[in-house]
Amino acid sequence: MTQQAVTKPRVGLFVTCLVDLFRPVVGFAAVKLIEDAGCTVDIPMAQTCCGQPAYNSGDRKDTRAIAQNTIEAFEEFDYIVAPSGSCAGMLKKHYPGLFKGDLTWEPRVAAFSAKVHELVSFLADVRGVQDIDARLDGTVTYHDSCSGLRELGIRAQPRALLGQVDGLTLRELPDADVCCGFGGTFCVKYSDISNAIVSEKTSKIEASGADLLLAGDLGCLMNMAGKLKRQGSAVETRHVAEVLAGMTDQPPIGGRG
């Protein structure tokens, strides 16, 4: 028994800043799911944010400093897992570019980034999870967040895992692959355009007939939930990990009704 515990892969959970600040239940759901998938989970205290706000605002110097902190905090683990396609994409696809030509950091970042996974794809692809132990009686629809979809190829995995949830009916969202208009600071810098894009999205969500909207990225979820609630929609919103972990006691994102 002890022997088995020792050989379990060690996962460092990158909680993500939005989960830490706004939706801790997603972090606890991630811990449960990763442990259920036969891994041990560590949560380094020295983590903050992946650095995207700086990176996408053109501030490379601060981005590098944040990235170095993150790498130092996580490089000891077998896997680094984040409950967000956008943050995982940053760690996996964008960190290496920050250290091009830096002989000290280039090999470190390469080793680090190779071990980074988004939560749902980690469960489905790396751990081959087939036995999600959760129940949700309702009709859900799923939005494919852009970074997860296009940078990491996450599309089939959440659908496969949701298919294992008892009582759950998945209704496909038309244009599920189209951006929700969040885009980080874009949504406040160009709020009029962002509003037009998210309005298009919420009309599709309403038309899907689902009573619960799921996605894998809290930024997108807060954007869509915020718009749905402003429009007085009854559709509720949750992170996909909450449903997969069977942790849906918390009120949905932005509340009910």
Per CB under 8 A, contacts with another protein among 185-204 are 185-198, 200
Of the residues 223, 235, 239, 248, which one makes contact with another protein according to CB under 8 A? 223
- Closer of 140 and 247 to another protein (Cβ): 247
Contacts to another protein from residues 44-73, by CB under 8 A: 45-49, 51, 53-60, 62, 65-66, 69, 73
Nearest approach, Cβ of residue 94 and another protein (Å)? 9
Distance CA 56, CA 169 (A): 37
- Closer of 134 and 224 to another protein (Cβ): 224
> What are the structure tokens assigned to 244, written together?
């997969």
Distance CA 122, CA 116 (A): 9
Contacts to another protein from residues 159-188, by CB under 8 A: 177-179, 181-188
Using CB under 8 A, which of the segments 22-30, 101-109, 118-126, 206-214 binds another protein?
A: 22-30
Of the residues 11, 23, 208, 241, which one makes contact with another protein according to CB under 8 A? 23
Residue 15 contacts another protein per CB under 8 A: yes
Helix 218-230 × helix 191-208 angle, to 10°: 80
Distance CA 188, CA 194 (A): 8
Q: At 86, is the secondary structure helix, strand, or coil?
A: helix
